[in-house]
Amino acid sequence: MKEAVIGGLRQRLVIKRLTVAVSASGDHVETWTRLTTVWGSVLPTREASREGFSGPTNQTVAQISHDVRLRASTTVSLATLSARDRIEMGSRILQIETVVDPGGRGRWLLCKCSEVA
């Protein structure tokens, strides 16, 4: 991956995490809790690619539709982001499927995401 440039991070993104609580009636209630707001770059993939496993177990395969580049920080890192998180960009929602450190130096993160309908 080409080294990201801070000036290229032009989109304001809200990172949220799924939390599950139990209501008084015993039901599981899912809510999305805001972790942080960051600047990032959202790029559609050239062609939607499929990532994951398939076969006789009928596991779900993610349809990767966007690459999201973020600058790593104490609140946004390989240790803090996971597939439990999503990125909101205005009214669009991107579910994080994988997070990688493309340079291996802890400076930038690349999130492979699928758009939630």
Show the tokens assigned to 59.
Answer: 């596991």
What gap in Å lies between CA 10 and CA 76, rounded to an integer?
A: 17
Type of residue found at 7: G
Domain count, the chain: 1
Convert the pLDDT of each residue in 94-110 to its tens digit: 999 999 999 899 999 99
In a domain, 31, yes or no: yes
Residue 13: which CATH number? 2.40.10.270
In a domain, 105, yes or no: yes
In a domain, 28, yes or no: yes
What gap in Å lies between CA 98 and CA 40, rounded to an integer?
A: 16
79: left (phi over 0), alpha (psi -120 to 50) or beta: alpha
In a domain, 73, yes or no: yes
Convert the pLDDT of each residue in 2-36 to its tens digit: 555 667 899 999 999 999 999 999 999 999 999 99
In a domain, 76, yes or no: yes
Range of the domain at 44: 7-116
In a domain, 83, yes or no: yes
In the block, tokens 């990532």 appear at 51
In a domain, 1, yes or no: no
